[in-house]
């Protein structure tokens, strides 16, 4: 009788492991990005995707742009009034606006200005 219980639970365990296959669902793969990878800061406050497919990240260390291969960072040295970015907005003209505690920054492909 004890052997039947063990066999039953063993089969249940195998079925549970393969439930994803039986359900036909693909497993999602997540990639993590940190400061060491090119992100301006590990604390991200907003994320935005622009029509060109680039991902923009508002962080406490500035704005980061990721095109799927490489990172670009923008901060006070590029014209932003501060590095603690609170939000990002894409304007109809293609410019990117960054809300900072001390004002706004605008990226118009010729460098940041405020």
- CATH number for position 70: 2.40.10.500
Closest CA to 98 of 71, 73, 31, 83: 83
Mean pLDDT of the chain: 82
Can you give the length of the chain in residues? Answer: 114
User: Is 46 domain-assigned?
Assistant: yes
DSSP three-state, residue 87: strand
Tens-place pLDDT, residues 68-101: 999 999 999 988 899 999 999 988 888 889 999 8
Give the chain's domain count: 1
User: Is 59 domain-assigned?
Assistant: yes
Helix (H) or strand (E) run with residue 73 in it: strand 71-74
pTM of the complete model: 0.70
Domain residues for the domain of 96 are 38-113
Phi, psi of 55 (to 5 degrees): -100, 130
How far apart (Å, rounded) are the C-alpha atoms in residues 68 and 49? 12
Asked whether the predicted pLDDT for residue 114 surpasses 50, the reply is no
User: Is 8 domain-assigned?
Assistant: no
Asked whether the predicted pLDDT for residue 50 surpasses 50, the reply is yes
């Amino acid at each position: 009788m004890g052997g039947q219980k063990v066999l039953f639970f063993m089969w249940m365990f195998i079925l549970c492991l393969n439930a994803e296959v039986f359900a036909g669902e693909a497993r999602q793969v997540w990639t993590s990005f940190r400061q060491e990878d090119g992100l301006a800061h590990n604390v991200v406050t907003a994320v935005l995707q622009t029509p060109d497919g680039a991902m923009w990240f508002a962080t406490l260390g500035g704005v980061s742009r990721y095109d799927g291969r490489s990172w670009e960072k923008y901060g006070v040295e590029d014209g932003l009034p501060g590095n603690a970015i609170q939000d990002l907005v894409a304007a109809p003209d293609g410019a990117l606006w960054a809300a900072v505690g001390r004002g706004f920054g605008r990226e118009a492909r010729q460098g940041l200005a405020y």
